[in-house]
Amino acid sequence: MTSGRPGGSQPGRPVRVLVLDHTGELGGAELALVRLLEVLGPDVDVRVLLFSDGPLVSRLRAAGAVVEVLPLDPGTASTSRSALGRAGLAQLVSLARLVPFTWRLSRRVRALRPDVVHTTSLKADVLGVVPARVARAALVWHVHDRIADDYLPAPVARAFRWASTRFPREVVVNSQATASTLPGRSTVAYPGFAADQVRTDGRPSAGRSPVVGMVGRISPTKGQLELVRAARGVLDEHPDATFRVVGAPSFGAQEYAEQVRAEALRLGVAERVVWAGFVVDPSAELDGFDVCVHASPVPEPFGQVVVEAMVREVPVVATRAGGVVEILAGTPGDPAPLGELVEPGDVESLARGISAVLADPEAAADRARRAADVAQDRFAATRTAEVVSEVWRRAARPAR
């Protein structure tokens, strides 16, 4: 293999990219990374360095990536987004511990001689700045979070917005919604679905009690509480409906999960709610749903599960906010949305949306088939790979 020259790639050899992520867990951004790496072309040579071990390592290797782990202090790797702002002084003190890590990381990055350092989480974005500079590689930030005060602590969002115009050479975002929270120029690369996620045999028409499902981490930002509250209104109209909640609490949301269960009991809907737990591949779960609900009360940066439901022809009811509005947007020829949009945080609107889908399964199935066609065109992982590879090529060109 040709050796890399820091500061710019050589024509004719693949662009060398080093991806940095702080976590080895399978969050949304990490699943998007796996699907991207699965379909990259030979014009890029990608390696991944994670700051902690976890199930992501084997998923990335299965996608053909070379992966290594350089462990960061476990405390820092697991700090949640909201805790980032809260901790204040204690956080500052612990920041001192990042100095030796940054030094180790810089040495490793320099030894790997990448043309591009591509960071895929807020922590990796920040921790990648010095190593990329030391290695004279172009820094690309891949932002999967809305950098807004309803999503991040205000001082963190402000600092991040400022840094985004100063440090990375290119910024990739997962939606227009995320782009609109940043002050500078960015490139939208919608996270893509993998070819094997698509349902190709058509959905059988339902002839049993309706299943209202939701897939996602159990967290206040995903809206399981709103779903359980809406269940009351839906059951008044469709008494045989069941509600299937797929996912597990993470990032300290255990208390929230208990609150949701208590609310289901209080409203007398507990026996109609099934807690299915975490599944690695939600396709089989989605196939059993008559409607897939995305109930985030705060704007979701993108919302991959909505696309996953669409490519399996499952009717979608989702809150009108963030990236989900782009996902469900109609086409110029037929601008009607591809799913039922309801108002964020509004339990009655959610119940009405779900009931409307259950009341007319034929119409819902027609719309879901149209949604599947549009999603297959708009959100294929190969398309994401083209956009991101082009950003890498641009970033790797020698600075003029």
State phi, psi for 167 to the nearest 5 degrees: -100, -50
Angle at CA 305, nearest 5°, toward 36 and 279?
Answer: 90
Sign, CA torsion 138/60/218/75: negative
Q: Which of the residues 253 through 312 are near ligand GLC (CB under 6 A)?
A: 300-304
- Distance separating alpha carbons of residues 341 and 375, to the nearest angstrom: 17
- Distance separating alpha carbons of residues 79 and 222, to the nearest angstrom: 19
Q: Which is nearer to ligand GLC, 30 or 290 (CB)?
A: 30
Q: Which is nearer to ligand GLC, 46 or 135 (CB)?
A: 46
DSSP state of 385: H
| Rounded least distance, CB 70 to ligand GLC, Å | 23
Q: Which of the residues 81 through 140 are near ligand GLC (CB under 6 A)?
A: none
- Distance separating alpha carbons of residues 321 and 342, to the nearest angstrom: 9
Q: Which is nearer to ligand GLC, 125 or 300 (CB)?
A: 300
| Rounded least distance, CB 286 to ligand GLC, Å | 16
Q: Which is nearer to ligand GLC, 94 or 187 (CB)?
A: 187
- Distance separating alpha carbons of residues 376 and 62, to the nearest angstrom: 23
Q: Which is nearer to ligand GLC, 210 or 216 (CB)?
A: 216
Q: Which of the residues 133 through 152 are near ligand GLC (CB under 6 A)?
A: 144
x/- track of binding to ligand GLC for residues 10-49 (CB under 6 A):
-----------------xxx--x-----------------
Question: Which residue in 37, 26, 48 sits closest to 381, CA to CA?
Answer: 37
- Per residue in 31-41, is it b (16+ CB within 10 Å) or e — as a string? bbbbbbbbbbe
| Rounded least distance, CB 252 to ligand GLC, Å | 16
Q: Which residues contact 333 (CB under 8 A, 6 or more apart)?
A: none
136: left (phi over 0), alpha (psi -120 to 50) or beta: left
Size of the site for ligand GLC (CB under 6 A): 12
Q: Which is nearer to ligand GLC, 18 or 318 (CB)?
A: 318
Q: What is the DSSP string of 99-114?
A: HHHHHHHHHHHHHH--
Instruction: Look at the chain and count its residues.
Output: 400
Q: Which is nearer to ligand GLC, 134 or 387 (CB)?
A: 387
| Rounded least distance, CB 227 to ligand GLC, Å | 18
| Rounded least distance, CB 8 to ligand GLC, Å | 29
| Rounded least distance, CB 35 to ligand GLC, Å | 10
Owner of token pair 């949304």: 28
| Rounded least distance, CB 206 to ligand GLC, Å | 28
Q: Which is nearer to ligand GLC, 29 or 350 (CB)?
A: 29
| Binding flag, residue 247, ligand GLC (CB under 6 A) | no
- Distance separating alpha carbons of residues 296 and 221, to the nearest angstrom: 6
x/- track of binding to ligand GLC for residues 166-205 (CB under 6 A):
--------x----------------x--------------
Pair of tokens at residue 105: 């990381």
Give me the residue whose beta carbon is nearest to ligand GLC: 28
Q: Which is nearer to ligand GLC, 229 or 294 (CB)?
A: 294
- Distance separating alpha carbons of residues 341 and 40, to the nearest angstrom: 34
- Distance separating alpha carbons of residues 70 and 280, to the nearest angstrom: 25
- Distance separating alpha carbons of residues 68 and 54, to the nearest angstrom: 11
Q: Which is nearer to ligand GLC, 341 or 364 (CB)?
A: 341
- Distance separating alpha carbons of residues 364 and 291, to the nearest angstrom: 9
Q: Which residues bind ligand GLC (CB under 6 A)?
A: 27-29, 32, 144, 174, 191, 300-304
